[in-house]
Amino acid sequence: MENWIFLSKPISAILAAWFYWDFYRRTYYSGQGSTFTTFAFFYGMIATGIALAWEVGVFDLFENYSIFSKAMLIGAIPEETSKAILIFIFLRQIKNSTNLADGLYFGLTLGAAFGCIENVFYSFKLDFWQGLLRSGTSLPLHTFSGGILGFFILKFLQSRRGNISGLDLISAFSFLIILHGFYNFLLIQGGLGTVYIPLILGLSFLTLELLVVQAEVTLPFELLQAEGLYVDDYSMIRKFSRYDSWLRAAQSKENIKEIPLLRDLSTIRSFISVLLFGVPIFCLNFYLFVPEWIPYYLANISSLEFITLFMEYPAWLGFLFLLRGMINPSFFRERILKIPLFLSVNLGPKGDEEPSLAYSLSRKGFYSPVIREPELNKVTTVSFYIAGRNFEKIPVVPVWKNFRPEDPDHESGALYRFPKIPWGLLAWRWFIRIKQQYRNTLDAFS
């Protein structure tokens, strides 16, 4: 019997890794084939070795640090950094032939492999219930964080350089380290803190779900490159199109079609979710009315481990089945956005300006409709007028233009990038936007 219990610990880690990997592969990905998956598993093995060697090498240096410091310095930072490095090395080689969905899937698979190997290693050191708790919670965390890293790393590789192009990647990486650090802290500390672990899993899951949708609505990189565009260029152009659709619909007094954020639930998914949500209720009866039965049937399990594994974890799985793929890509691709703030734009040097407008503005640039065809990659100046303030002689570079001389009804435009980020302009624009949104909120409830 003891041999079976001993073997069941690594087997549970392997099964958990397979479940989360297959869960996402079947739901979202049909992509690159078995070779791509094999490379992801192989790179996950290498990342695990690097992380374990790193952790062993620095363990004595931080032995007397606080639990949270050790959770960050000995756990979260080595593991997330190792995954990020291996994902970056692989995706950099194939960035021109992959899409954001490929990057997300590669990172997700690498994370599942990483979590599987790590938990097989830990399963021989931990008691059965502790090992099961660790496998059931750290594997989804590694899988989700790997997918998030894969998305942002490939997005960085497929973005135009300049304007702190790596800021999104750095922010995502920092977010994952903090999330992972808190997870390690709660697991090491034990006690009541373990009941908060599903909240960390839920946050990482929802983040990944949003990124999956973004990957689905982004055009293939090869197609963008054929038009001379990058992924971040496309996001600015797409946002302009969605704002412009609202303006045209408002002017023509057309009814704007409402696109739901969530898809409809299937009967099977609803049934599975109800069953999983029913498990905690069933186990709660044991905990409240016959608690002495719990250690009799589940030897050596603590009350908190029982609550986490048999009450919180089934609810987490129900949440997973319920919301998996529920976010509607059409909501982000086709939904018309109401313009929060018009930006008055004068393109060109003083005395030779072309008046235009912009609906959105980022640290990278903006898209604006134009009549005169700009010369690409030639620095010019632009002036903005926003809520009573002028921002003049801001240098911009047109990097892409959308002109169709053969189509007289086509509305031409161009994408402009900032050589240097105009922080003052951006700060003022965000201040006015937040102020306007606050007033709109008050008006809505008045």
Residue 342 has pLDDT above 60, yes or no: yes
Q: Is residue 224 part of a domain?
A: no
Q: Is residue 48 part of a domain?
A: yes
Is residue 91 located within the same domain as residue 157? yes
Place 81 in a pLDDT band, splitting at 50, 70 and 90: very high
- Residue 83 carries which side chain, given as an amino acid letter? K
Is residue 359 located within the same domain as residue 333? no
Give me the sheet containing 413-417, strands edge to edge. 354-358, 343-347, 380-386, 389-402, 413-417, 365-369
Residue 80 has pLDDT above 90, yes or no: yes
Could you give the C-alpha distances from 388 to 341, 367, 426, in angstroms and in order? 13, 22, 15
Could you give the C-alpha distances from 343 to 108, 339, 347, 430, in angstroms and in order? 40, 10, 12, 12
End-to-end CA distance of the chain: 68
Residue that is last in its domain, among 322, 337, 352: 337
Return the number of other C-beta atoms located less than 10 Å from residue 422's C-beta: 19
Could you give the C-alpha distances from 294 to 80, 96, 286, 310, 415, in angstroms and in order? 37, 55, 7, 11, 64
Is residue 212 located within the same domain as residue 301? no
Q: Is residue 359 part of a domain?
A: yes
CATH number for position 397: 2.40.10.220
Percent of the chain with pLDDT over 70: 90
The predicted-structure confidence for 44-66, as pLDDT tens digits, reads as follows: 999 999 999 999 999 889 988 99
Q: Indicate the range of 86-100, 264-278, 422-436 predicted with least confidence.
A: 264-278
Is residue 364 located within the same domain as residue 324? no
Residue that is last in its domain, among 289, 314, 337: 337
Number of structural domains in the chain: 3
Mean pLDDT of the chain: 86
Is residue 310 located within the same domain as residue 420? no
Q: Indicate the range of 26-40, 129-143, 358-372 predicted with least confidence.
A: 26-40
Could you give the C-alpha distances from 36 to 25, 32, 94, 136, 152, in angstroms and in order? 12, 6, 11, 26, 18
Is residue 267 located within the same domain as residue 376? no
Place 333 in a pLDDT band, splitting at 50, 70 and 90: low
Q: CB–CB of 436/340 below 8 Å?
A: yes
Percent of the chain with pLDDT over 90: 45
Distance separating alpha carbons of residues 242 and 335, to the nearest angstrom: 7
Burial 58-76, CB ≥16 within 10 A → b, else e = eeeeeeeeeeeebbbbbbb
Is residue 196 located within the same domain as residue 125? yes
Is residue 370 located within the same domain as residue 402? yes
Is residue 322 located within the same domain as residue 353? no
Give Dmax (Cα) for the chain: 88
Domain with 165 in it:
1-218
Is residue 94 located within the same domain as residue 178? yes
Which H or E run includes 347?
A: strand 343-347
Structure tokens at 111: 């994370």
Confidence (pLDDT) at 337 = 55
Return the number of other C-beta atoms located less than 10 Å from residue 208's C-beta: 23
Q: Is residue 246 part of a domain?
A: no
Q: CB–CB of 82/147 below 8 Å?
A: no
Residue that is last in its domain, among 337, 367, 400: 337
- Residue 264 carries which side chain, given as an amino acid letter? D
Q: Is residue 276 part of a domain?
A: yes
pTM of the model: 0.90
3-state secondary structure of 86: helix
Q: What is the DSSP letter of 310?
A: I
Q: Residue range 244-259: average pLDDT?
A: 65
Q: Residue range 147-157: average pLDDT?
A: 97
Q: Is residue 208 part of a domain?
A: yes
Is residue 273 located within the same domain as residue 325? yes
Residue 336 has pLDDT above 60, yes or no: no
Q: Indicate the range of 1-15, 99-113, 349-363 predicted with least confidence.
A: 1-15
Q: Is residue 380 part of a domain?
A: yes
Residue 441 has pLDDT above 80, yes or no: no
Is residue 39 located within the same domain as residue 156? yes
> 337: buried, middle or exposed (CB in 10 Å: 19+, 13-18, 0-12)?
middle
Q: Is residue 431 part of a domain?
A: yes
Confidence (pLDDT) at 444 = 60
